């Protein structure tokens, strides 16, 4: 196990370096005039030159790259081009909101997807299975922003003042904030729950045909115990893999949900940074997403041995 973790950490470091390099090059050779975005349309040539000098953009690209790499191991992602605030401080201020959004929605979509998927697979080609199929099609066909706008309209317009309390302002982890997160959780989880239902159902159907499951049934074990104790653990392996990928990737891709519900998270920060051409912030969020996906996949790989005793890490 220690050697496996060490190899994966080394792999994570290499992936972070590659992503950081690729993102740095793409953003710095892009035609977006950062100096013009910051200085405005009426800025003079002298003002634009001074902005580039202050940001260090007048230096050769290789020099900028080496300075960027030298600060990276220290956790220094530079300062924002727009307001001069350290990137780590900007991300740190927005990250708790996004983590609350993603983690709360993850509990809903994972639990709901597994329950509906297992039920549909254990009653294959039955009435419940057909209902699950309809739900999956509806969920995969509904864009997140449509579900977000529908919930927003229902609870703040359709129900009148009864739904307004869900959007009272409040800091993270306090009562008003958590009540405000209810609708974003459901809006984000709806599409994901449909995908996890389909994935769980397909995995369960494959596992239920395995020889050891037939043996358990032949021994006279109740069907409920066969499904829960023998089939479900093995079927959760691909579902856990997808969960690790989704949890990391969603940290930087909640733009639509945060925009609709007015949440000041990392998604909103990405949107604002792209609009302003704030390269250091964009690179910082990209590295955060890469690190999140890598760490989540490491935890999922370690959890394989718990879900499926046949898996051994070396």
262: left (phi over 0), alpha (psi -120 to 50) or beta: left
**Local structure of 86: helix, strand or coil:** strand
Take residue 91 and report the two structure tokens written for it: 């991300």
Q: Where are the domains of the chain?
A: 2-74, 88-307
Contact between residue 264 and residue 258 where contact means Cβ atoms under 8 Å apart: yes
Contact between residue 296 and residue 285 where contact means Cβ atoms under 8 Å apart: no
Q: Which residue has the higher pLDDT, 221 or 164?
A: 221
Identify the pLDDT of residue 314: 54
Could you please report the per-residue DSSP string of 47-93? HHHHHHHHHTTTS-HHHHHHHHHHHGGGT---B-TTT--BHHHHHHH
Identify the pLDDT of residue 162: 40
For the ranges 18-32, 80-94, 171-185, the lowest mean pLDDT is seen at 171-185
For the ranges 171-185, 199-213, 249-263, 277-291, the lowest mean pLDDT is seen at 171-185
The model's pTM is 0.75
Residue-wise pLDDT for 149-159, tens only, equals 887 777 765 44
Q: What percent of the chain has pLDDT over 70?
A: 84
Q: Which residues contact 148 (CB under 8 A, 6 or more apart)?
A: 183, 184, 187, 256, 257, 260, 261
pLDDT over threshold 80, residue 124? no
For residue 108, give the H/E element and its range: helix 87-122
Identify the pLDDT of residue 31: 61
Comparing CA positions, the residue from 305, 144, 310, 190 lying closest to residue 240 is: 305
Q: What is the CATH number of domain 88-307?
A: 1.10.3720.10
Q: What is the mean pLDDT of residues 80-107?
A: 87
Read off φ and ψ for residue 276, nearest 5 degrees.
-95, -5
What's the CA gap between 115 and 103, in Å, rounded? 18
* Exposed / middle / buried, residue 37 (Cβ in 10 Å: 0-12, 13-18, 19+): middle
Residue-wise pLDDT for 189-234, tens only, equals 888 888 899 888 888 888 888 888 888 888 888 878 888 777 887 7
């Amino acid at each position: 196990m220690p050697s496996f973790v060490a190899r994966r950490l080394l792999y994570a470091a290499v992936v972070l370096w590659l992503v950081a390099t690729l993102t740095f090059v793409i953003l710095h050779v892009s035609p977006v005039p950062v100096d013009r975005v910051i200085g405005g349309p009426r800025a003079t040539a002298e003002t634009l030159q001074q902005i580039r000098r202050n940001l260090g953009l007048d230096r050769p690209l290789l020099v900028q790259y080496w300075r960027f790499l030298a600060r990276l191991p220290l956790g220094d992602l530079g300062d924002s081009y727009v307001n001069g605030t350290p990137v780590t401080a900007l991300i740190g201020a927005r990250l708790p909101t996004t983590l609350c959004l993603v983690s709360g929605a993850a509990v809903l979509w994972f639990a709901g997807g597994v329950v509906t998927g297992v039920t549909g697979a254990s009653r294959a080609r039955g009435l419940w299975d057909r209902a699950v199929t309809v739900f999956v099609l509806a969920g995969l066909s509904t864009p997140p922003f449509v579900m977000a706008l529908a919930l927003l309209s229902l609870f703040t317009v359709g129900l009148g003042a009864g739904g307004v309390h869900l959007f009272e302002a409040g800091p993270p982890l306090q009562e008003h904030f958590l009540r405000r997160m209810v609708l974003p959780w459901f809006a984000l989880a709806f599409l994901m729950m449909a995908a996890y239902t389909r994935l769980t159902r397909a995995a369960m159907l494959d596992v239920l045909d395995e020889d050891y499951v037939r043996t358990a049934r032949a021994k006279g074990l109740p069907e409920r115990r066969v499904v829960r104790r023998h089939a479900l653990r093995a079927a959760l392996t691909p579902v856990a893999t997808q969960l690790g990928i989704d949890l990391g990737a969603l940290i930087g891709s909640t733009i639509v949900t945060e925009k609709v519900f007015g949440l000041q998270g990392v998604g909103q920060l990405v949107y604002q940074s792209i609009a302003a051409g704030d390269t250091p912030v964009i690179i910082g969020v990209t590295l955060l997403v890469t690190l999140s996906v890598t760490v989540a996949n490491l935890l999922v790989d370690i959890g394989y041995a718990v879900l499926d005793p046949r898996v051994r890490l070396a």
